[in-house]
Amino acid sequence: MTQPASRRAFAAPSVRALLAQAGAFPLTLIAVWLLARAGVPARLPISWECVALIQGAFAALLAWGFRLAIWWRAIELVFPTGVLLARGFELPPGVFLVLFVLFLLIYWSTFRTQVPYYPSGRAARDAVAGVLPADRPLAIADVGSGLGGLVLDLARRRPDSQVDGIELAPLPWFVSRLRGKLSGSRARFLRADYETVNFGHYDVVFAYLSPAAMAGLWRKAESEMRPGSILLSYEFDIPGRMPDRRIVTTNSKKILFLWQF
């Protein structure tokens, strides 16, 4: 059954985040009014900074009620105070426009997917390279490949294999592709939403996403990946799906989860 348009819109984290701030505003007004009625300003004046903290606290509480990820709650908490501090710097409006465009190019669809930019690091690269089957060439995909560090590293270690990076955000995709061109790598970088890419084309799919995306990732992998293929997830487990292996990375306590199909 198709969900109503209103329910689909509410499912977007950005919409719920906006509603959390909007819903916090009348609660903040009521709280300040009650404090004034109680005579609190006479003993402890209520500043704009205090009002911003109250607004942020209510917004974070509503974000928790809307089941937004913990980093969304943190944003809700500090956003009003951040706006207040930014006003104090009296920055030109163009600065905010440049910052907005920059963050848009980097994070692009984070508002919808709840998958922010997470660099994996050397420990993850070593762990992934260590579990790849060595007896045959492989087709490998890194979904949400960011700046392309893991893709370029695997392409260098496994010249017999085809390694693809799949990234939707324009700026990370451009940087990763430029890095590949400058280094002469055989790696490919595709600007695409991984949900539109057929996992059946790959022997190994690696993901470093977020807890919010894991259930959807599993559904896609289960429906598309071929027998004998491997799904890897760094740091984030899939609820209710026991991995075939857990690999503790060399330089941290973060875990690489492996499922064999």
Helix (H) or strand (E) holding 140: strand 139-143
Residues of the chain with pLDDT under 70: 1-14, 40-45, 69, 88-120, 250-252
CATH no. of 122-260: 3.40.50.150
Q: How many residues does the chain have?
A: 261
pLDDT at 209: 84
- CATH 3.40.50.150 occupies which residues in the chain? 122-260
CA distance 131 to 248: 12
Task: Please count the other Cβ atoms lying within 10 Å of the Cβ belonging to residue 137.
Answer: 12
pLDDT at 91: 65
Which amino acid, one-letter code, is at 196? Answer: T
Q: Is 32 exposed, middle or buried (0-12, 13-18, 19+ CB in 10 A)?
A: middle
Task: Please count the other Cβ atoms lying within 10 Å of the Cβ belonging to residue 175.
Answer: 17
Is the pTM here over 0.95, yes or no? no
Which amino acid, one-letter code, is at 155? Answer: A
197 in Cβ contact with 188 (< 8 Å): no
Q: Which residues contact 80 (CB under 8 A, 6 or more apart)?
A: 21, 51, 52, 53, 55, 56, 59
